[in-house]
Chain A
């Protein structure tokens, strides 16, 4: 019964806090883009001519089917992150795609039209080497998987294992390749580096070893890349040191060593230091490969060769050429070669594989993006035209993970920016004013200079507004006359300007590959992109907005700090976030590893905020470092503090800046690293506003919040991971004085800990290992009934410790990430945005995470609108702000205030990107979008006419009475 009361109370309170999406709002102000990651394997479905399928497997452990006409996803399967979901190989036969996952852990077969699993089998342990389809008499029935020490054969239709055999001498021989020519035998090829090659023959029916031989090959270190099987089972290898090709028939018993063919005899030479790459093609997995192959001699030199009667003859030399690939349609095999045309474009041509003859009219021009990377993979889709000639389309992959699908004569059919699958950090930047808007703003900014000029200025600005409105009306009229299809809402940088409520912003996204994007938040259009070359793969990025768009005519300025994770050395990249152009400002050199960055509210004469960079000798570099800035820094040095974290030693230390830009240590907190390690440290967001200083209680007194802007929340986890002894700790430390304001420990708990630190509260989530559930805990800090110093907050003068309230709740779902909404003035109630592994984003009212929720309802708590305490947090589907637009592997949620107090902009990123707006307290400052204009105007008109008519009637009546 008590439960029922609580439930009822909750549901009543929901009436006030619910912030849900209405069905007609779908797609109105939100959008989602789905990504797959860097493509590792891509196969076109050549099963039928009309098929549009393109199967891809990526480094993000995603296996997907793309529509090759539009680039959209048919379906996508997202596996576990990390090595356990890693896709080792993708094979395709007919409607089935066979995938080996997790370093040979699982073998899966997918039904590619529906996107469902056909079967899945667990493979024996052992690291994966290779897999191949095995055919017998033109028909593929099996798949063979080679592990480090075993080979197994599986049935293609059911996945059942037919046989598994241990490989002989697997401790000395490195087995690397597997080959089957469709004649009932499987060859396993291994190598003993710099000694010999081992070839083992297995019978398909029962796995019996038919033959085993070893061939001298002292020059060989690895079979991968430099070797391939061509023609009817002839192993072909290339070696750079001896400048030779080697051939060996796999099946013949008499040949005891590999036949050497000097490249000199073919007038060829491998570039020094380049490992030659051999590429062969196999149109039908049940038949042996073709006898033609590509040999890559240097990064931009390919040659098409043919093996005929034991002799190798060059068919065509492609010099220069970047990329080469084979493709087959029906019985015809072609080769596509990309060669440079000029500085900005490449041309792709088609050649017949068996003769090397060029097909006429098959040129595709590929324009290289000057802000992108170089092309590094070429995937060709060949098809037979009606006149029996071969047509083709190509997909070009570049270093920055972009996929471009082209057709003749160079039309870009679609493009996917797969770098966005790995967004590391982002910022939202206000759009600039247009010229007229800036002028209007300028009117209010300037000092008054007499009555008459002010009036004139006022009139002129009104005139400008009128002009703009007329132009807008004209445009509307003009667009209305055109057919709807031709009116396209194309967004370009030139027409971008701030809208009425500042709801449209520029999203600056930094991806792990080093590519920067500028995306329009309203439509999701990519407005600019910039690929930064030479970024180490494990770099850490930090994006800082130094100057916003508010300082016209100075352009906005963003600074990206790129830090190598291993060396700690950093570099700065300064750019304009609206146009993506690199700034010409000189950047300080950073010779030492950067430990900490600090954005000061001090501005230089160009209105750029000053960025301080602290290196490992605690020296401070200021950027920009003009005389003006240094002067200001000297004046304010005594009040600039910063902190450093050393997680390996569990040390937090606070420093103060001196006038000569050196630093002095003022405090140090040591959290013993052998017991617990510091996992994360977070302060409050700099752009956060708190509207009310306190909370009004039921008895009309005020409970003041403890609003310390220097407070740091430090999360620790125990080093002991045993279920009974593990714990999660939280410390609240003042960043200026180093005083520990509060500490709390959650026993029998472990990470990963997600937390939000804002206003006067910290919310954190941990895993309760005793009860196996996620729990939310909220800490709120209050000064009490009186404020100590209500005018200004100083960390150095705080005699009274704050009152700390804490409450915990059960959260009935796992959690991926956590963030809080943010609004312009902080009047709107706060919601927590919880990213769930299912891809939904839950908007949870902060009201539910209030440590003052009473266990027993009293008159006062009802007055305060407190929800009675319930141990389990509710999850309602109406609170999912992204309805069915789920965001896979959500890794971060970014919130930004808009010009409207009620509205908060939200971007969730992970594998996908989702942008929306949330209204935590509903839209209280604008008319709702379902506002009934028709009703209100019809009522008004109705009343108007009613008065008219009744007036007339009254007149008539009066007249009649007068006559009587």
Chain B
């Protein structure tokens, strides 16, 4: 019997490796088309409230990935030259500010239009201005907020509130209300009676205990006794 426990296969062919290298860099476009059918995508990027010189040196305009690359002028405007007709996603990438991408369609005659990018309904047209006016929607939010610990968070926690409020009532109420005052005691007894309007109505829990512990009626009787004692003690 043959045991084929160990089966080893080389995991990466050398040529596969070499292809990966060539894949990474897109090769030159075969044959350079004449300049006649090459067009220019123009526009302007605006970051409200920020001077252009603070961010333009780190920003780039990418057309369809890195297929065509443009740079920003000192006034925030840009032009990507030498683009043949077609449909492209134009994106301004900047490590500090967020810009929404725009799809630009160029007809073979050189007519331009821009529209919102919609990857699901690709033929939907919601027109955008051309030449492009791309307004930044603010700085990137790269970071998560740390969960900070504060006293208010702790106190506003529902569990804590459920625990603390009854505690307060238990501790503070007897101090506020003078229980030795006979008038007050009378009043409280009245209010207790108000809460329990019909003393003849059987208590549900009592009913249940009776039902389940018929054999040991003594203990239930004891219970009863303690219950009847309780209001007196108060």
Taking CB atoms, residues of chain B closer than 8 Å to A256 are none
Total of A-B residue pairs, C-beta within 8 Å: 220
B73 touches A119 (CB 8 A): yes
Taking CB atoms, residues of chain A closer than 8 Å to B82 are 105-106, 122
Which of A21-29, A296-304, A662-670 is found at the contact surface with chain B? A21-29
A639 touches B7 (CB 8 A): yes
Residue B18 interfacial (CB < 8 Å): yes
CB 8 Å contact bits of B4-40 with A (1 = contact, 0 = none): 1111111111111111110111111100101100101
Q: Within the assembled complex, what's the spacing in Å between the Cα atoms of A528 and B173? A: 76
B122 touches A773 (CB 8 A): yes
A20 touches B14 (CB 8 A): no
Q: Within the assembled complex, what's the spacing in Å between the Cα atoms of A638 and B2? A: 10
Taking CB atoms, residues of chain B closer than 8 Å to A599 are 10
Q: Within the assembled complex, what's the spacing in Å between the Cα atoms of A952 and B149? A: 32
Query: Which residues of chain B (138-197) have a CB below 8 Å from chain A?
Result: 140-144, 146-147, 149
Closest-CB distance, B69 to chain A (whole angstroms): 5
B7 touches A709 (CB 8 A): yes
CB 8 Å contact bits of B96-121 with A (1 = contact, 0 = none): 10100000000000000000010110
Closest-CB distance, A435 to chain B (whole angstroms): 36
Residue A537 interfacial (CB < 8 Å): no
B9 touches A114 (CB 8 A): no
Most buried by B among A74, A540, A684, A935: A540
Chain A interface residue count, Cβ-Cβ cutoff 8 angstroms: 103
Taking CB atoms, residues of chain B closer than 8 Å to A142 are none
Closest-CB distance, A187 to chain B (whole angstroms): 27
Taking CB atoms, residues of chain A closer than 8 Å to B19 are 647, 679-680
Q: Within the assembled complex, what's the spacing in Å between the Cα atoms of A735 and B8? A: 9
A23 touches B71 (CB 8 A): no
The closest CB in chain A to the CB of B74 belongs to: A116
Most buried by B among A563, A736, A772: A772
Residue from B9, B58, B60 in contact with A712 in the complex, judged by beta carbons closer than 8 Å: B9
Q: From known contacts A81-B25, A736-B7, infer whether A116 and B57 are also in contact, taking CB-CB under 8 Å.
A: yes
Q: From known contacts A120-B79, A540-B21, A680-B23, infer whether A79 and B7 are also in contact, taking CB-CB under 8 Å.
A: no
Taking CB atoms, residues of chain A closer than 8 Å to B119 are 771, 773, 810, 812, 872
Which of A82-90, A348-356, A438-446 is found at the contact surface with chain B? A82-90
A682 touches B16 (CB 8 A): yes
Residue from A118, A814, A883 in contact with B66 in the complex, judged by beta carbons closer than 8 Å: A814
Residue from A115, A425, A642, A752 in contact with B10 in the complex, judged by beta carbons closer than 8 Å: A642
Residue from A20, A23, A114, A877 in contact with B56 in the complex, judged by beta carbons closer than 8 Å: A114
B11 touches A686 (CB 8 A): yes
Closest-CB distance, B13 to chain A (whole angstroms): 5
Residue from A80, A83, A117, A796 in contact with B72 in the complex, judged by beta carbons closer than 8 Å: A117
B8 touches A600 (CB 8 A): yes
Q: Within the assembled complex, what's the spacing in Å between the Cα atoms of A644 and B144? A: 47
Q: Within the assembled complex, what's the spacing in Å between the Cα atoms of A867 and B11? A: 33
A106 touches B25 (CB 8 A): no
Which of B87-95, B125-133, B209-217 is found at the contact surface with chain A? B87-95
Taking CB atoms, residues of chain B closer than 8 Å to A22 are 143-144, 146
Taking CB atoms, residues of chain B closer than 8 Å to A561 are 14
Which of A199-207, A260-268, A285-293, A589-597 is found at the contact surface with chain B? A589-597
Q: Within the assembled complex, what's the spacing in Å between the Cα atoms of A771 and B87? A: 11
Taking CB atoms, residues of chain A closer than 8 Å to B98 are 877
The closest CB in chain B to the CB of A752 belongs to: B23
Most buried by B among A106, A642, A837: A837
Taking CB atoms, residues of chain A closer than 8 Å to B26 are 81-82, 752
Residue from A424, A565, A886 in contact with B95 in the complex, judged by beta carbons closer than 8 Å: A886
16 A–B contact pairs at CB < 8 A?
A20-B142, A23-B146, A83-B28, A111-B74, A114-B57, A116-B73, A117-B71, A122-B35, A122-B40, A595-B13, A600-B8, A636-B6, A681-B12, A681-B13, A794-B4, A816-B24
**Using a CB–CB distance below 8 Å, which chain B residues touch chain A?**
2, 4-21, 23-29, 32, 34-35, 38, 40, 52-53, 56-58, 60, 62, 64-69, 71-74, 78-79, 81-82, 87, 91, 93, 95-96, 98, 117, 119-120, 122, 140-144, 146-147, 149
Q: List 11 additional A-B contacts (Cβ < 8 Å) besides A642-B8, A794-B5.
A: A80-B67, A116-B52, A116-B72, A540-B18, A598-B8, A639-B7, A794-B7, A795-B7, A814-B65, A884-B140, A892-B24
Please name the 4 residue pairs, one residue from A and one from B, whose CB atoms are nearest each other, closest first.
Answer: A115-B57, A814-B65, A683-B11, A75-B57
**Using a CB–CB distance below 8 Å, which chain A residues touch chain B?**
18, 20-24, 74-75, 77-85, 105-106, 108, 111, 114-120, 122, 124-125, 424-425, 540, 542, 561, 563, 565, 594-601, 636, 638-645, 647, 679-686, 709-710, 712, 735-736, 751-752, 771-773, 792, 794-797, 810, 812, 814-817, 837-839, 871-872, 877-878, 880, 883-886, 889, 891-892, 930, 932, 935
